[in-house]
Amino acid sequence: MAHFYRGEISRANIWRQRLDATFNWAVLTTGTTLSFAFGTESSPHVVILINSMLIIVFLFIEARRYRYYEVWSSRVRVLETDYLAPILSPKVRAVVPRDVWAEHLAEDLMRPHFTVGLWESVGRRLRRNYMWVFMLLTMAWAVKVAIHPTPVRNFGEFMNRAAIGALSGPIVIAIVTIYMALLWMISFSTMARQRASSEVSTGGLERSMPPPREGKRKKRRDDPDMTATFEPVVRRATATLKPRNPKD
């Protein structure tokens, strides 16, 4: 169990580093784009909008990596809350019986599953990192249009400068507004699905459960290589602290 715990921590750390690498790409491309856009007055403002589309690609890549990170991290929390904590402190009384969390962990090893949905992971990364990048790009685009080649004198001139090729200024502004509104909608609409209040979750077995799905659930095909069968695991609390009885 000690080696298994160390191995799961190593997996979680590797995928955590991959999350940081993806966000570093987003920051690097954003800095390069802004340097180019504001380097000369003749630089087109459309490069900032193109960069925001590239950040969307990075966001979905990081969301996918975040889902893998949660697989290993949730296993670590199960071991910490339901196995290590009762061993380290006699005050911890495990509410979830050993056969429940151990069976669930064994089933997860046989049939790994994502513990976080795609859109929930996208929303989490938006709220914690990427929304700041999109806000910076939007403000930088507005400033670029407003000051280059000369400062605008009224909003009508700003709308005329926002034009991109055959797209008129009002259409471009409308697209940018809808674009940011969709990002905010995804960010707030997935907040209700978030079961962890922070990056460091206090839950064990609940965190490792698969995310609930709405509508009809597709039945998983039978695995011919399965060597064990499992009963459904009932979601319960993981552990609680109770005062120690001197008679124990």
Domain ranges of the chain: 2-211+236-241
pLDDT-derived band at 26 (thresholds 50, 70, 90) equals: very high
Q: How many CB atoms lie within 10 A of CB 146?
A: 16
The predicted pLDDT at position 61 comes to 94
3-state secondary structure of 93: strand
pLDDT above 90 covers what percent of the chain?
A: 31
Give the residue-averaged pLDDT of 138-159.
Answer: 90
User: What is the separation of C-alpha 92 from the centre of its chain, rounded to a whole number of angstroms?
Assistant: 31
The predicted pLDDT at position 241 comes to 44
Helix orientation angle between 169-189 and 131-147, rounded to the nearest 10 degrees: 160
Of residues 118 and 88, more confidently modeled: 118
pLDDT digits (tens, 9 = 90+) for 47-75: 999 999 999 999 999 999 999 998 888 88
Of residues 86 and 17, more confidently modeled: 17
- Who's near 190: CB < 8 A, 6+ residues apart? 119, 120, 122, 123, 124
Going from the C-alpha of 66 to that of each of 19, 21, 170, the distances in angstroms are 7, 12, 37
Which pTM does this prediction carry? 0.73
Highest mean pLDDT among 102-111, 148-157, 170-179: 170-179
d(C-alpha 47, C-alpha 44), whole Å: 6
pLDDT digits (tens, 9 = 90+) for 198-223: 444 445 555 666 665 544 444 545 44
